[in-house]
């Protein structure tokens, strides 16, 4: 069996595996897609100590560092089940079962897509998902935020300080964000809120140049010219495969304590799949390190 088996090969999983392997213990990583969401990122400017990098480049250097430590890397393998017997068992899609004394779950998350024409086409060409990451790219420009929940309204408030104008589009007749956020939003001079509207299409040529939406009560289609659209309709953790083994929140996020431990002894979790706030590369790497040290601490006590 492994001492530490990491499920997920994004920044959280890679960091966890490196921290574990540096303790001289038997470490493996199972990853469906090594590098995770970082593969899909164009420019990264908030990974401290690296002024600018690009997703695939950062993934390559993470992988190079992982390889230094003799970690068993099992790529393009999906975990489908977790069980606890004498060891913790991870079943893979191909039927194989891996055994380990501890497991660190770092299966990440994915942004929910609107699913309208133009969204995929203009991803990284005006369509963005992370205001902390990409907000500054739209300084002085006009943008829209799709989604009027807490994350959408927070994004709009954040962006309003950077861009020229923000339009918020909410499908429901009312915003769903907390009242205090709505008050703050409505106090801003460069924000327009459209409620009861359905996003129809993201338009453009080589890059995004506008958004079309349907006014749901009149059925009328309208179009706004702008340079950026931030999609904020939810971040979905990749945790369905855990069913009811590990405790998760209503949103599906794995509940962890300050040591990265879950409710199951020996099972830890890190990164975007957990209930820790703010989903960023640097944060997920930090939580991966925490979970690995938590797992090591568990191993020397049991
Ligand atoms: P992920 O990166 O999601 O990795 C999850 C890993 O688990 C992957 O290897 C995946 O294949 C694997 N996996 C999932 N399910 C299974 C399974 N069942 N079995 C086996 N493996 C599985 N953050 C920043 O700090 N700066 C930025 O500029 C930035 N830009 C971004 C741009 C985009 C377009 C996106 C989508 C995100 C961006 N982020 C950025 C956020 C950042 O990428 C994430 O916070 C970070 O990647 C989370 O790391 P993670 O390891 O927790 O999860």
Q: What percent of the chain has pLDDT over 90?
A: 98
Q: Give the helix/strand (H/E) hosting 97.
A: strand 97-105
Which pLDDT value is given to residue 9? 98
Query: What pLDDT sits at residue 42?
Result: 81
Identify which of 209, 245, 214 has the alpha carbon closest to the alpha carbon of residue 118: 209
Strand, coil or helix: 29: strand
User: 9 CB less than 6 Å from ligand 1?
Assistant: yes
Average per-residue pLDDT in the chain? 97
Say what the pLDDT of residue 81 is.
98
Nearest to 12 by CA among 286, 301, 234, 300: 286
pLDDT, average across residues 280-286: 98
Q: Whose CA is nearest to atom 41 of ligand 1?
A: 280
Residues at the binding site for FAD are 3-18, 262-272
289 closest CA partner among 35, 13, 16: 16
Ligand 1 neighbourhood includes 137 CB (under 6 angstroms)? no
Task: Tell me the average pLDDT across 150-175.
Answer: 97
Whether the predicted pLDDT of 41 surpasses 90 = no
- In terms of Cα–Cα distance, which of 88, 87, 102, 105 is closest to 32? 105
Please report the pLDDT score of residue 177 as a whole number: 96
pLDDT digits (tens, 9 = 90+) for 104-139: 999 999 999 999 999 999 999 999 999 999 999 999
Q: Give the β-pairing of 127-128 and 228-231.
A: parallel
Q: Which two tokens stand for residue 224?
A: 């706004």
Ligand 1 atom nearest residue 34's Cα: 9
Instruction: Read off the pLDDT of residues 206-233 as tens digits, 9 standing for 90 and up.
Output: 999 999 999 999 999 999 999 999 999 9
Q: Given this model, what pLDDT does residue 243 score? A: 95
Binding residues: 3-18, 142-156, 262-272
Q: Is the CB of 292 under 6 A from ligand 1?
A: no
159 confidence band (pLDDT: 50, 70, 90): very high
In which band, very low, low, confident or very high, does the pLDDT at 269 lie, cut at 50, 70 and 90?
Answer: very high
How close is the Cα of 258 to the center of ligand 1, in Å? 21
Residue extents of the structural domains in the chain: 2-111+235-301, 127-231
Q: Does the model's ipTM exceed the 0.95 cut?
A: yes
Spatial separation of the C-alpha atoms in residues 102 and 116, rounded to whole Å: 42
Cα end-to-end distance, the chain, whole Å: 15
What average pLDDT score do residues 66-93 get?
A: 97
Sequence-ordered list of residues with C-beta below 8 angstroms from that of 234, at least 6 positions apart, any chain:
111, 112, 147, 149, 151
Ligand 1 centroid–CA 107 distance in Å is 8
Mean pLDDT of 240-247: 97
Q: For domain 2-111+235-301, which CATH number applies: 3.90.850.10, 3.40.50.620, 3.50.50.60, 2.60.120.650?
A: 3.50.50.60
Cα(13) to ligand 1 centroid in Å equals: 10
pLDDT at 97: 98
Is the CB of residue 149 below 6 angstroms from any atom belonging to ligand 1?
Answer: no
Global pTM value: 0.92
List the beta bridge partners of residue 165.
Answer: 142
Backbone angles phi, psi at 137, to 5 degrees: -70, -20
Provide Rg for the chain, Cα atoms: 21
Nearest to 243 by CA among 5, 28, 83, 54: 83
282 lines ligand 1 (CB under 6 A): yes
40 lines ligand 1 (CB under 6 A): yes
What is the arrangement of strands in the sheet containing 165-169, beginning at the earlier edge strand? 127-128, 228-231, 142-146, 165-169, 191-194
Residue-wise pLDDT tens digits, 4-19:
999 999 999 999 999 9
Whether residue 144 is predicted with pLDDT greater than 90 in this model: the reply is: yes
- Can you name the residues that pair with 144 across neighbouring β-strands? 167, 229
Please tell me if the CB atom of residue 284 comes closer than 6 angstroms to any atom of ligand 1.
yes
CATH topology of domain 127-231: FAD/NAD(P)-binding domain (3.50.50)
User: HEC states along 61-94?
Assistant: HHHHHHHCCCCEEEECCCEEEEEECCCEEEEECC
**255 pLDDT above the threshold of 90:** yes
State whether the beta carbon of 41 lies less than 6 angstroms from ligand 1.
yes
Q: Which atom of ligand 1 is nearest to the CA of 37?
A: 2
Residue 179 has pLDDT above 90, yes or no: yes
Distance CA 101, CA 2 (A): 6
- Determine whether the shortest distance from the Cβ of 14 to ligand 1 is under 6 A: no
Closest approach atom of ligand 1 to CA 124: 34
- Between the CA of residue 194 and those of 182, 200, 224, what are the distances in Å? 13, 14, 12
- Overall average pLDDT of the 72-86 stretch: 97
């Amino acid at each position: 069996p492994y001492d530490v088996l990491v499920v997920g090969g994004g920044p959280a999983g890679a960091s966890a595996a490196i921290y574990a392997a540096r303790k001289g213990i038997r470490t493996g990583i199972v990853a469906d897609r090594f590098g995770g969401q970082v593969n899909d990122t164009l420019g990264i400017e908030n990974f401290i100590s690296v002024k600018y990098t690009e997703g695939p480049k950062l993934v390559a250097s993470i992988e190079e560092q992982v390889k230094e430590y003799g970690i068993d890397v099992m790529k393009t393998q999906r975990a489908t089940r977790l069980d606890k017997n004498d060891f913790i068992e991870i079943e893979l899609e191909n039927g194989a079962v891996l055994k380990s004394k501890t497991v660190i779950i770092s299966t990440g998350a994915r942004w929910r897509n609107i699913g309208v024409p133009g969204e995929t086409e203009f991803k990284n060409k005006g369509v963005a998902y992370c205001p902390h990451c990409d907000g500054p790219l739209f300084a002085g420009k006009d943008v829209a935020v799709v989604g009027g929940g807490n994350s959408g309204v927070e994004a709009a408030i954040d962006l309003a300080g950077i861009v020229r104008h923000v339009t918020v589009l909410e499908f429901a007749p009312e915003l769903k964000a907390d009242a205090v956020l709505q008050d703050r939003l409505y106090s801003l001079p460069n924000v327009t809120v459209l409620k009861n509207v359905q996003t129809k299409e993201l338009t453009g040529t080589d890059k995004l140049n506008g958004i079309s939406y349907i006014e749901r009560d009149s059925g009328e289609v309208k179009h706004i010219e702008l340079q950026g659209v931030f999609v904020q309709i939810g971040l979905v953790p990749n945790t369905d495969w855990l069913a009811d083994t590990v405790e998760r929140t209503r949103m599906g996020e794995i509940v962890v304590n300050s040591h990265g431990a879950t409710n199951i002894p020996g099972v830890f979790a890190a990164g975007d799949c957990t209930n820790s706030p703010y989903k960023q590369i640097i944060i997920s790497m930090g939580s991966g390190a925490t979970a690995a040290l938590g797992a090591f601490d568990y191993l020397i006590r049991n």
